[in-house]
Amino acid sequence: MVEPFRYLHRVTYAECTVGDHVYHSRYLDLLEAARGELLRALGCPVLAWQDAGYIFPVIEAHLRYKAPARYDDLLTIEVRVLRVERVRLEFGHRILNQHGQLLLEAETVHACTSREEKPRRLPPELVEKLKRQFKS
């Protein structure tokens, strides 16, 4: 099995509620940051694809909250490529705290579109790089 890509994030005060846990929708921002860093690590940053006329909007997201992240926690966000299809990408995510406790599991599905939001086939160069990250 291919190891997941790992991205580290320190929880900021601005991400937390008065109850000292990360607000539920902020996890989507963390997943986005981790996916962006995965693409950067593969040598194909999001901005380069955007400049070439491709965007990858989220069309579906499933999040399962297991335990709260808190202010100053050091989170490891794992990202795996689950599926690459003609115009769709699917990623699996896990967020763990500094103690290795599982906080969240998630999947996101993305469409490949033009900047005008018309469906486009995934670029072959991106497909090749992502396939190396597939969960076996």
Tens digit of pLDDT per residue, the chain (136 long)? 589 999 999 999 999 999 999 999 999 999 999 999 999 999 999 999 999 999 999 999 999 999 999 999 999 999 999 999 999 999 999 999 999 999 999 999 999 999 999 999 999 999 999 988 765 4
> Could you tell me the CATH number of the domain that includes residue 37?
3.10.129.10
Distance CA(43)–CA(126), nearest Å, equals: 9
Residue 73 in domain: yes
Encoded tokens for 7: 């991205």
The residue range of the domain holding 43 is 5-131
Residue 36 maps to a domain: yes
Q: How far is Cα 106 from Cα 91, in angstroms, rounded to an integer?
A: 8
> How many angstroms separate the CA atoms of 69 and 81, rounded?
24
User: Is residue 125 in some structural domain?
Assistant: yes
The reply to whether 136 falls in a domain is no
What distance, in Å, lies between the first and last C-alpha atoms of the chain?
A: 5
Within 63-122, residue ranges assigned H as helices are none
| Structural contact between residues 90 and 71, judged by C-beta atoms closer than 8 angstroms | no
| Number of domains comprising the chain | 1
